[in-house]
């Protein structure tokens, strides 16, 4: 009979351990879900704030940028929010303004492309150099 008692006590102990382990997992999962919800809420609020100072075509472009390059888009949103907090934005930002910020962040220089009849597409600067030389 003592074996039965020991076995029962071991079973109860194991049940308690499993139950406490599962409760810990559930609590960790709930914490993760709450953190994800907080992050999503912050991003939604940030998007709403940013969209208030953007023109409609800029909103569309920023949404497209968010899908294609989310890191750059997030940096742009953070920059806009910073400018809003410092009260440095006086008029709505256009698509061109967003594109300028994007080019600044990626290090891409703006260029004008020219296509003449029978030629390939060229950079305007190169075309001007050729015209000056000739």
Do 57 and 40 lie in a common domain? no
Do 8 and 64 lie in a common domain? no
**Residues 6 or more apart from 89 whose CB is under 8 A from it?**
53, 80, 83
Tens of pLDDT, residue by residue over 25-65, are 999 999 999 999 999 998 888 889 888 999 999 999 999 99
**Average pLDDT rounded to a whole number, residues 100-104:** 89
Q: Please tell me the least confidently modeled range out of 20-29, 79-88, 112-121.
A: 112-121
Do 30 and 71 lie in a common domain? no
**Average pLDDT rounded to a whole number, residues 92-100:** 92
Residue with tokens 């004008």: 112
Give the pLDDT of residue 109.
77
Do 84 and 19 lie in a common domain? no
Alpha-carbon distance values, 54 to 57, 63, 106 (Å)? 8, 12, 21
Give the pLDDT of residue 134.
66
Helix segments in the chain, DSSP class H: 2-52, 56-68, 70-85, 95-106, 124-133
**Which domain covers residue 133, as residue numbers?**
53-134
Do 60 and 25 lie in a common domain? no
Tens of pLDDT, residue by residue over 119-130, are 777 777 777 777
Do 11 and 75 lie in a common domain? no
Number of folded domains that form the chain: 2
């Amino acid at each position: 009979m003592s074996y039965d008692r020991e076995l029962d006590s071991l079973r109860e102990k194991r049940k308690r351990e499993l139950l406490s382990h599962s409760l810990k997992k559930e609590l960790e999962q709930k914490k993760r879900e709450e953190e994800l919800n907080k992050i999503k809420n912050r991003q939604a609020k940030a998007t709403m704030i940013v969209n208030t100072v953007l023109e409609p075509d800029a909103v569309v472009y920023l949404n497209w940028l968010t899908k294609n390059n989310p890191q750059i888009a997030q940096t742009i949103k953070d920059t806009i929010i910073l400018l809003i907090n410092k009260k440095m934005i006086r008029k709505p930002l256009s698509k061109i303004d967003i594109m300028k910020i994007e080019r600044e962040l990626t290090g891409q220089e703006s260029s004008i492309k020219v296509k003449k009849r029978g030629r390939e597409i060229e950079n305007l600067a190169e075309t001007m150099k050729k015209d000056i030389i000739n």
